[in-house]
Amino acid sequence: MERKRSRKREAILDCLRQTDVHPSAEWVYRRLKPRIPDLSLATVYRNLALFKQEGLICSLGVVQGLERFDGDTSPHVHFICTGCGRILDLPGLQLPAELASQAVQITGGQVTGASLRFHGVCRHCATPSPAEAAG
């Protein structure tokens, strides 16, 4: 069943697809609220769940207490900073195809998708501030 298109639904999806910050629902809400005064945070959450279920967006899991989303559903690799919570796309890195075939061999199942996430400290968090370096 095709869902009716609404101005709010389209704005939420467009917001996700037009950013690379991998936002939370709260970020999307704060971004759209000035343009759509009657938008509620519940509407944002409900639509994100719907988009995720329909495969229009991906969830990157919970980072610093908030579920984060990606409007780019193409296969790509992420780096998640454990310091500041920044999520970066790593263009040019791809999952090796042999991993999927190995997973099929081991499980006897069928691979329908895969993701790769690196966790660590980004360069901004790894570089000490001048005050910390002098300390």
* pTM across the whole model: 0.83
The DSSP output letter for 39 is -
Could you read off the pLDDT of 65-84 as tens digits, one per residue? 999 999 999 888 999 999 99
What confidence score (pLDDT) does residue 135 get?
58
User: Could you tell me which residues come within 8 angstroms of residue 16 by beta carbon, excluding any fewer than 6 positions away?
Assistant: 23, 28, 51, 57, 69, 70, 71
CB burial readout 66-91, b (16+ within 10 A) else e: ebbbbbeeeebbbbbbeeebbbbeee
